[in-house]
Chain A
Amino acid sequence: MNALQDVDWPALGPPLIAALAAVAVLLADLFLPPARKGLLGGLAVAGLVLAGLSLLPLRGADRATFCLAADPGLCSYRADEFALTVQLIVLGGALLAALLSLPETGPASRHPAAPHPASGKAAAGNGAAGKETPGTGAPKRDASGTGASGGAGEGSLPGGEFWFLLLCSACGATLLPAARDLATLVVALEITTLPAYALVGLRRRGPGPEAALKFFLTSVTATAVGLLGISFVYAGAGSLHLSEIAERLPDADPRLATLAEAGVVLTLAGFAFKTAAVPFHFWVPETYVGAPLPVAGYLSVVGKTAGLAGLVLVTTGAFPGYGGLWGPVLAVLAACTMTAGNAAALRTPAAAPDGVVRLLAWSSIGQAGYLLVPVAAAAYTAPGDALGALLGYALMYAVTNLGAFAVAAHLARRHGARRLADYAGLYARQPGTALALAFFLLCLAGLPPGLAGLFAKVAVLRSAVDAGLGPLAVVTALNVALALAYYLRWTALLFRPAPAGSPAPPRPVPPLAAATALCALAGAAFSVAPQLILGLAPGVLR
């Protein structure tokens, strides 16, 4: 027996390159002079692009590595279609989030974001601040504690730490969908979320630290609960490999049956937190508002996708025999999540400060509800079809949601209060940006011309109808109508005549424009050929 394992390095490419890039950024941060810290962003973007490219040679193959020497069928890492698609979403999402962050990090920042209103009192004065020319808006709040950013405005993020944390988190999220044992899964999940706490709290002023603490405490509780569940499951099954658990847990000692079931439920609860499912969703709006906008976008797409992938792996991978147990639970969770998210999003007032972020936060909770529908459906049908719908929806959601965040980040450079009302008349001033945002919102709502969203919703509903989950399908359908109200309200705002005397939108900056254009192009491609995202057919997870 060979003590040394054969490791399939190319299969490991995506997480490995992300990790190497993280280390490279950290080291470069030490040696680069402050004036050249701008290179760090480029380095991080290059690393993410490279990691994404390393997915290409893996397409179509089903490769596995870190297998047990005694039983080569049991592997801890598997790069199958499911894993590769989620890795694509994660790396693409991280890349877009990185593009959104570029203007906010390092000394390259010439247009610091307008001041962030920390309280209602600050918001009152914000209308005046917003009208001032960029750079003069925040002299008195110019923070000295922004470290490496070298004297940029308080809006800028410390470059080195930021890029390192982002790449670390992306590395964890890339590792997660390929993990095939519970230990690797939990480790990957923690690598994903631990840097995220720091990312949320990276701006030391404003509500960031408090949001980070809230995020941290709830998240750690969920992890602890999940670990407890995993230990129960281990007691029942005697293995951490998903396929072994799937095989052995139902045949476990009958005296352990209750323990096994409790373990299944507790493990699910742990993962449900990461997807921000009800009742673990309360941290989301506060955290998104407190976090820098690109980080909020990152969490809404990458964090959610990673949590969802973990949920799929434990449900269909480890507990397929317990479908009767987790199927109804997830169906109820999905229904509650989408209803809570959409109802709250509907109540977001247009004039409130941070309304945009709050709306996007609640809408992302609503979307998480739709994403849970196929997972619940997988309990009742062949999981392949349901997972295909899930991946298609996740791809559509990633592209359009980050597109919306890109436009929001663009406008937040002038309108620091991030109110929905700031979007009135955008079409008259920047038709391209307005049309792109309208397209993203209609995709999220699932209305033509956002065909990608429409067909992704059809696929999700179809999985529910196919699984015989009639009530869930009806709740989902009603929620689609409910969600339309706020998406269309925002869209309609764009095409209003611009209010007199409102400040002109900021000039586009290349990274943000590139991110918007990338998302718009991808969304348009998915709309013309929905087969691209809906044709994915991940087999049974092993």
Chain B
Amino acid sequence: MFPLSETTLRLLLIAVLALPLLGSGAALLPAPPGLRGAGGPERDVLRHGVTVTGAVLAAALLLAAGFDHGQPGRVQAETDVGWISALDVRLHLGVDGISLPLLVLTALLTFLCALHAYVRPPGGGDPRAFVALMLLLECGTLASFAVLDLLLFFLAFETVLVPMYFLIARWGGAQGTPAGRAAGEAPDAAGDPADPAADPGDSAEDPADSAGEGTPGRAAGGAAAAAWKFVLYTVLGSVVMLLGLLLLGLDGGTFDMVALAAAHGEGLSHTSQLLAVLAIGLGLAVKAPMWPLHSWLPDAHTAAPTTGSVLLAGVLLKMGTYGLVRIALPAAPEGMRTFAPYLGAFAVAGILYGALACLSLVREGAAGDLKRLIAYSSVGHMGFVLLGIATLTQTGVNGALFANIAHGLVTGLLFFLVGSLRERTGTTDLDRLAGAAGAALYGRSPRFGGLLAFAALASLGLPGLAGFWGELLAMLGAYQPAEGLSRPAYATFLALAALGTLLTAAYLLQVVRRVCMGEAGQQPLPDLHAPEYAAFSPLAALTVLAGLCPALLLDLTGPAVRGLLAGVAG
């Protein structure tokens, strides 16, 4: 949009990665005298989180503005210096049309999370540690979208684990539902929005119980167990992925993603392509998550605090699909072609499974948890992303990348809203929330209810909102998959995916019916207040924008995807 020199862009990208890392370290130190506010050290450090993530967002937006939109297929803001010559690891950074939107999305969501944490201080532990972990998480996710070296990608992938583990285990679970409140009637339990609803003493980790236990999971309740599940699944996936990356790098002769993508699998034997795609795909499929490797996700989402859920759904899941597009697709096209139909089948299974799980959760008397429901809906949405990738076509992969961003925006918004709902009503349990009559949010809290309905509609893929284009393009790709792929198989996938969209619409409308509608006359709930507007409106606005002007994103990803797919089409 406005020209910045390549050096400026490079520095901006380095700043985007370095700021959260430095900020994470700084969060653990006491605040310097000039930065001490009236609210005490806890407010200071939360404000520090807002400042740093805000600076990162500003740098990311500036980077996006300075990005040469005429050549989105070219890697820009490129830095390439040697680091560990023994392992051929180079600090190779850069952005192109595929990574830029994800980078901005990550910066935006983390900033909104920091803002949310500032308004609603997280209960359950030291806020210094919370901010440090959140910034470390941001660094890892941003890095995984910006690095162009296989081993650095692995490093970024692993960096995310420890902070996310602690965010779920320490700040998750019982946050926001003090024992007395959770047991009471939902309408009576309306929390005062001015009062941080979390009770530190009621955090999931009861020290007296858990210290002596052999398995911390059991002692510390659901949160720690969910955190364990998250870490073990992801680590298992990522070490297998590392094997694939090593195979790819050693057989391909370089660990540089750009060089590997340019080679389009030349010099790699068929066997090593197959093995590499299998190993890398498995690792990324755990993260994405692909059915049947998804089972860590609902637990992690349900247990995580709002910040954790938003970042997990909005950003972390994208690392899996991004890796498939960035590494497996261009570097081992033959392997991808072999495995694409299987990927498609699993993707469709995920779409249907996610939708059916949600349908069963939304039934009356199923004691379905809203967070769990959104988590399962993520499995379905990521199924569309994987289906788009599995078509190996320009249309499908572009759709996948679009759906990636859309899912980040919409699901991020949904998790924020559900977090706020829990602050208001003390529960996310659908039965307790809605009962038989419905929670009637339209009447009790009109703007809040309206926004929730908006997010649900965006999630089901209403035309004109962000969710629509990605799924449409993914299915369009499946209608005409890449040459050499079985047309009938993909036609079946298409039909099943279409059925999945119907089921998705069914459960999301059910959610709207049960949560937003209901009998009038119930006690009103506080409506949206200023900080919530600030946190939610950017996501809502971008959802509308992406729905009305999909070209904004597709023009960025299109040329870059064409370059990556050159090997598959041939």
Contacts and interface: CB of A to CB of B under 8 A. Distances in A.
Q: Do A and B come from one complex?
A: yes
Contacts of B208: 499-500
A69 interface: no
B158 A465 contact: no
Contacts of A480: 235, 239
Interface string B148-181: 0001001100110110011001100000000000
Given A424-B207, A458-B154, A477 B243 contact: yes
A414 B484 CA distance: 69
A421 B84 CA distance: 38
Given A459-B87, A461-B242, A488 B231 contact: yes
A496 interface: yes
B85 A531 contact: yes
A496 B367 CA distance: 31
Contacts, number: 123
Interface string A386-421: 001000100000000000000000000000000001
Interface string B57-92: 000000000000000000000000001111101000
B211 A424 contact: yes
Contact of B216 (A451, A466, A492, A536): A492
B86 A465 contact: no
Centre residue among A449, A485, A488 by max chain B CB count within 10 A: A488
B212 A351 contact: yes
Contacts of A529: 84
B465 interface: no
A508 interface: no
Contacts of B159: 448-449
Given A478-B239, A481-B239, A484-B235, A455 B84 contact: yes
Contacts of A447: 158, 161-162, 235
A495 B211 contact: no
Interface string A447-467: 111010011001101100110
Contacts of A455: 84, 87, 89, 151
A493 B169 CA distance: 11
A465 B247 CA distance: 7
Contacts of B520: none
Interface string B131-146: 0000010001000000
Given A462-B250, A474-B243, A535-B86, A497 B158 contact: no
A379 B277 CA distance: 27
B213 interface: yes
Contacts of B161: 447-448
Interface in A290-309: none
A425 interface: yes
Given A421-B212, A458-B151, A477-B242, A496 B205 contact: yes
B162 A448 contact: yes
B499 interface: no
B232 interface: yes
Contacts of B158: 447-448, 454
A349 B214 contact: yes
A219 B457 CA distance: 71
A351 B211 CA distance: 8
A484 B231 CA distance: 9
Interface residues of A, number: 48
Contact of A462 (B87, B170, B216): B87
B143 to A, nearest CB: 10
Given A465-B246, A477-B240, A498 B207 contact: yes
B210 interface: yes
A497 B125 CA distance: 8
* A contact face: mostly helix, strand, loop, or mixed: helix
A313 B239 CA distance: 30
B437 interface: no
B207 A497 contact: yes
Contact of A534 (B84, B242, B243): B84
Given A447-B158, A448-B158, A458 B235 contact: no
B216 A493 contact: yes
Interface in A482-526: 484-485, 488-489, 492-493, 495-500, 502
B231 A448 contact: no
Contacts of A350: 211-214
Nearest to B165: A488
A461 B87 CA distance: 11
B217 to A, nearest CB: 9
A397 to B, nearest CB: 17
Nearest to A347: B214
B534 interface: no
A531 B84 contact: yes
Nearest to B244: A465
A455 B140 CA distance: 16
Contacts of A449: 136, 159, 162
Contacts of A442: 162
A458 B242 contact: yes
Contacts of B236: 478, 481
Contacts of A458: 87, 151, 154, 242, 246
Contacts of B224: 492
A421 B211 contact: yes
Given A459-B87, A462-B87, A493-B216, A499 B231 contact: no
A496 B151 CA distance: 32
A437 to B, nearest CB: 14
B155 A451 contact: yes
Most buried by B among A466, A492, A502: A492
A388 B246 contact: no
Contacts of B162: 442, 447-449, 488
Q: Which of A448, A485, A534 has the most chain B CB within a 10 Å cutoff?
A: A448
Contact of B166 (A349, A462, A495): A495
Contacts of A44: none
Contacts of B166: 492, 495
A473 interface: yes
B86 A493 contact: no
B242 to A, nearest CB: 6
A454 B212 contact: no
Contact of B250 (A465, A481, A493, A495): A465
Contacts of A461: 242-243, 246
B169 A492 contact: yes
A500 B207 contact: yes
Interface string A346-360: 000111000000000
A425 B166 CA distance: 14
A285 interface: no
B19 interface: no
Contacts of A537: 86
Interface string B343-361: 0000000000000000000
A406 to B, nearest CB: 22
A534 B87 contact: yes
B263 interface: no
A484 B212 CA distance: 20
A351 B214 contact: yes
Contacts of A477: 239-240, 242-243
Residue with the highest number of chain B CB atoms closer than 10 Å, among A392, A497, A534? A497
Interface of A: 349-351, 388, 392, 421, 424-425, 442, 447-449, 451, 454-455, 458-459, 461-462, 465-466, 470, 473-474, 477-478, 480-481, 484-485, 488-489, 492-493, 495-500, 502, 529-531, 534-537
Given A350-B214, A496-B207, A499-B208, 7 more contacts: A424-B207, A442-B162, A458-B151, A458-B246, A474-B240, A492-B224, A497-B205
16 contacts: A350-B214, A425-B207, A454-B158, A455-B84, A458-B242, A465-B246, A474-B240, A474-B243, A481-B232, A484-B232, A488-B165, A495-B129, A495-B170, A496-B207, A502-B211, A531-B83
Interface of B: 83-87, 89, 129, 136, 140, 151, 154-155, 158-159, 161-162, 165-166, 169-170, 205, 207-208, 210-214, 216, 224, 228, 231-232, 235-236, 239-240, 242-243, 246-247, 250, 275
Which 5 interchain pairs have the tightest Cβ spacing? A477-B239, A424-B211, A534-B86, A349-B214, A448-B159
